[in-house]
Structures are given as structure tokens and as C-alpha cells.
């Protein structure tokens, strides 16, 4: 079967084999921290040092990890895909970005970080976003506004995910939707499969084991993403409809 318009959603599970902790596993990020202490606007207002430190630690970790076979397989598929290709990640790491750089150049590699990016910072007054690979100090002066400081460019709980209109339009037009390494615990990403199904898309879930949302997928491929995803992507074909 050939497909034309592909949307892929990834979560922390695709980066797990690179050594980036997931959120809800027994040794996950939320086990060491309360979400309301490090991942809400209220936490940042109450204790900016604790919030900056939480993200500085995760930013430092990024320098020690590399993309894995699942990231690379997605970038290679993008390089040869003839139709529409949108990769939406909930992850704030840069492993998809780096995998894309390592793969052949792809005309249509479209990547959206819907929950923001660890290696970017945002001005608290203007909202301007800039690259920021280093640590953020508690009252880091903003280069964008004299009264601004810099916060992590992360979508916190209670904030709106980024580029939702583009994502929803792509889901409504897709004929194949893949979900890789996400527990489906957080909306709005958890609802993407329903939009794709309503569009008539084939839906496939990749995870270590069935999730609470598995019943909403046509197919589930379970095991480590570095083992399940590459062979599945390798057999995908897209024939551009001319
Ligand atoms: N291969 C495939 N799947 C894996 C692997 C692996 N090697 N390791 C873990 N997983 C799966 C887990 O089984 C789980 O279903 O990845 C999923 C990770 O789930 P979460 O830890 O909940 O992470 P995620 O789904 O990305 O969380 C979504 O919640 O906390 C917020 O903003 C945060 O973006 C995050 C969002």
C-alpha cells in the first residue's frame, strides 16, 4: 500500500535508548520532581532558580547523548518521502534535529517541537525566542527587551502547545499517522490519533508495550523503537500523485 501524507508524533520513548529519561517510567523525570514545582508558569514565578536549574540539568545532559537508530530512520524516510511529511515531537531535546543533519538532505523535512526546545530561550516580555545552548541564570537579562529576562522556551503545563493549527491541518489531510514512544498521557497530543482516524488515515502505535490509547490504533508494534521503527519505515512507499 502506498501513502502520500504522513504525520508522525514522537514522545520521550523515542529518545529513551539515547539515554534521555522519559517522564512517567519508575525512574522518570517526574519521579524526581513534582510537575507543579518545575514545569508550570506559577513554579517559575515562585522559584525561578529551581525551574532554571531543572532545565539547565536537562540541557547539560543533551551534550552527552546522540540520536539513535529510530531518529535516524525517521530522518532517512523524510529524505526519500515524495508526499507531505510532518514530524511532530513532544520532546524538547534536539535529537530529531541532529538526526536530520546527519541524514541526506530532505526537501520536505518538517519538524515541529510542540512543547518547545531545551536549546532555546524566550524573552519574558517580548516573547522573542533565541538559541541558547548554555545554562540560563535565574535573572538572565534578555537581549530582546530592556526589562525582559530569559525563561526556558518550554511549553509548561497550563500553556498552549506550539503550532497547533499547522498540526491539526496536517492530521486532517494525512493518510498515515504514526505514534512513537508516547504514553498518550497529555493532551492535546493524546487526541491526534482521533483526528487522523476521522481523516481516514491508517494509524500505527510504536511503544514498549500497549498503552492506555492502544485500542484507538489500527496496528501496534511493541518493543524498543530502535528495533520496531526502522524496518517498518523501510517498507513504506510514497508515490507522489502527479
Ligand atoms: N521504545 C519505545 N517506546 C518507549 C521506549 C523505547 N525504547 N522507552 C519508553 N517508551 C515508551 C513508554 O512505554 C511510554 O509509553 O515511551 C512512553 C513515554 O511516556 P512518557 O514518559 O509519559 O513521555 P511522553 O509520552 O513523551 O510525555 C508526554 O508529558 O510530561 C509531559 O511535556 C511532557 O512532552 C511530555 C508529555
Ordered DSSP codes for 10-77:
E-THHHHTTT---SSSTTSHHHHS-HHHHSSHHHHHH-HHHHHHHHHHHHHHHTT----HHHHHHHHH
CA of 241 to the centre of ligand 1 (A): 35
Q: How confident is the model at residue 42 (pLDDT cuts 50, 70, 90)?
A: very high
Whether 145 is catalytic is no
Nearest CA to ligand 1 atom 9: 13
| 182 CB within 6 A, ligand 1 | yes
Neighbouring residues of 101: CB distance < 8 A, sequence distance ≥ 6: none
With a threshold of 0.75, does the pTM exceed it? yes
Cis peptide before 235 (omega within 30 of 0): no
| 192 CB within 6 A, ligand 1 | no
CA of 105 to the centre of ligand 1 (A): 28
- What tens digit of pLDDT does each residue of 135-152 get? 999 999 999 999 999 999
| pLDDT for 108 | 58
* Residue keyed to cell 551534550: 63
| pLDDT for 107 | 57
| 65 CB within 6 A, ligand 1 | no
- pLDDT for residue 51 is more than 60: yes
- What tens digit of pLDDT does each residue of 176-213 get? 999 999 998 888 999 999 999 999 999 999 999 999 99
Nearest to residue 138, comparing CAs of 57, 44, 42?
44
Amino acid at each position: 500500500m502506498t501513502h502520500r501524507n504522513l504525520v508522525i508524533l514522537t514522545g520521550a520513548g523515542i529518545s529513551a535508548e539515547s539515554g534521555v529519561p522519559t517522564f512517567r517510567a519508575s525512574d522518570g523525570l517526574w519521579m524526581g520532581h513534582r510537575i507543579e514545582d518545575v514545569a508550570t508558569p506559577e513554579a517559575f514565578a515562585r522559584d525561578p532558580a529551581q525551574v532554571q536549574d531543572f532545565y539547565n540539568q536537562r540541557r547539560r545532559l543533551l551534550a552527552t547523548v546522540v540520536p539513535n537508530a529510530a531518529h535516524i530512520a525517521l530522518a532517512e524516510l523524510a529524505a526519500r518521502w515524495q508526499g507531505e511529511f510532518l514530524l511532530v515531537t513532544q520532546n524538547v531535546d534536539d535529537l530529531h534535529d541532529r538526526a536530520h543533519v546527519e541524514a541526506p538532505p530532505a526537501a520536505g523535512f518538517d519538524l515541529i517541537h510542540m512543547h518547545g526546545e531545551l536549546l532555546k530561550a524566550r524573552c519574558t516580555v517580548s516573547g522573542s525566542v533565541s538559541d541558547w545552548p548554555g545554562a540560563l541564570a535565574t535573572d538572565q537579562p534578555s537581549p530582546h527587551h530592556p526589562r525582559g529576562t530569559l525563561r526556558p522556551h518550554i511549553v509548561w503545563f497550563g500553556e498552549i502547545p506550539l503550532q497547533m493549527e499547522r498540526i491539526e491541518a496536517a492530521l486532517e489531510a494525512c493518510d498515515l499517522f504514526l505514534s512513537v514512544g508516547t504514553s498518550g498521557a497529555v493532551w492535546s497530543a493524546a487526541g491526534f490519533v482521533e483526528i487522523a482516524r476521522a481523516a481516514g488515515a491508517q494509524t500505527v502505535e510504536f511503544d514498549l508495550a500497549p498503552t492506555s490509547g492502544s485500542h484507538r490504533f489500527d496496528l501496534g508494534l511493541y518493543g524498543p523503537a530502535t528495533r520496531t521503527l526502522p524496518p517498518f519505515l523501510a517498507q513504506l512507499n510514497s508515490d507522489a500523485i502527479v
